[in-house]
Amino acid sequence: MLQKCCLISFIIIFIYIYLYVTLESFNVSTQTTKPQSLSNKSTVSTIPNILNTPISTQLTSEIGRVLNISSNRILNLTFTGNISNGSLNVSFTILEPNTAQSANLEKNSKDVNELVNKLMSLNQFKVFINGVLVILYKIVSAPVPTPNYFNNNGLTKISDYAKKKYISVPNDASLTNFYKLGIDDNFNIVPQINM
* Predicted pLDDT of residue 55: 85
Q: What is the mean pLDDT of each run of 10 residues along the chain (195 residues)?
A: 85 85 63 45 45 81 91 88 87 88 87 90 89 86 60 72 66 65 84 73
Does any domain span residue 1? no
CA distance 2 to 12: 15
Does any domain span residue 53? yes
Does any domain span residue 171? no
Residue type, 117: N
Question: How many domains are contained in the chain?
Answer: 1
* Predicted pLDDT of residue 33: 46
CA distance 57 to 18: 41
Question: Is residue 63 a contact partner of residue 73, using CB atoms and an 8 Å limit?
Answer: no
CA distance 92 to 76: 5
* Predicted pLDDT of residue 63: 92
**In 3-state terms, what secondary structure has residue 1?**
coil
Does any domain span residue 104? yes
* Predicted pLDDT of residue 37: 42
* Predicted pLDDT of residue 150: 55
- Using a cut of 0.85, tell me whether the model's pTM lies above it: no
Give the range of the structural domain holding residue 121, as residue numbers without chain letter. 47-138
Does any domain span residue 13? no
Question: Is residue 40 a contact partner of residue 105, using CB atoms and an 8 Å limit?
Answer: no
Does any domain span residue 33? no
Does any domain span residue 97? yes
Does any domain span residue 14? no
- Cβ contacts of 94-98, under 8 Å, gap ≥ 24: 94/67, 94/69, 97/69, 97/70, 97/73
